[in-house]
Homo-oligomer: A and B are copies of this chain.
């Protein structure tokens, strides 16, 4: 039996220790979807004791949420700036959709944590993640509103349902991928979603043209009748 390793009691600044714990928690959260005993695992990994973790985070849940929040904040930074460089309702919508799909694709474990665990429980609405997501979907709806204002989209678009179908669709589409089964292409998926949604909400451009052309047809008929009668 190996002699029990004498613990070296090392003192870090609170900030450094907290960073260490969060980094370690992030790694473990990505490595496995089993959250049982994760506090013990973190402590063991860092060579500290469980109680020390609780000096920095009141509960396990707080720790996990803060890790997820930090990650998500970094992940969603700057989309606004990127979006500013894209013009056209369709392209802008596609960008928002594609970006969300890309997050799913690049960080399945974290996304699953957010979607399946954090979002399910009571305090989710008090979470930064909820706020960030709200902003993101609000931005998406903003694009739709602009499209309506310009006449490019129908005036009677049910706004929140468009949002629900886009983001609900994304989540459903990635469901299997998030648990390590199957693949998906963010580009392909974004194309497919945008194709359905855009056609679904675009103003019937053709209807005006059709009306004009129907008129043309009638005039032609009269014209030809007049001229052939002569």
Contacts and interface: CB of A to CB of B under 8 A. Distances in A.
A104 interface: no
A157 B170 CA distance: 17
Contact of A169 (B165, B198, B210): B165
Interface in A148-204: 157-158, 160-173, 179, 189, 192-193, 195-201
A75 interface: no
Contacts of A164: 168-170, 172-173
Interface string A122-166: 100000000000000000000000000000000001101111111
Nearest to A213: B213
Interface residues of A, number: 46
Contacts of A161: 169, 173, 189, 192-193, 196
Contact of A158 (B168, B196, B207): B196
A78 interface: no
Give the oligomeric copy count.
2
A220 B209 contact: no
A165 B168 contact: yes
A120 interface: yes
Nearest to A217: B216
* Highest count of chain B CB atoms <10 Å: which of A119, A172, A199: A172
A214 to B, nearest CB: 7
B210 A158 contact: no
B168 A172 contact: yes
Contacts of A227: 223, 227
A96 to B, nearest CB: 15
Contacts of A120: 116-117, 120
Nearest to A164: B172
Nearest to A116: B120
A173 B168 contact: yes
A219 interface: yes
In the A-B complex, the 10 residue pairs with the closest CB atoms: A168-B168, A168-B172, A200-B200, A165-B169, A196-B200, A213-B213, A164-B172, A116-B120, A158-B192, A161-B192
6 contacts: A161-B192, A165-B168, A197-B200, A199-B199, A210-B213, A213-B217
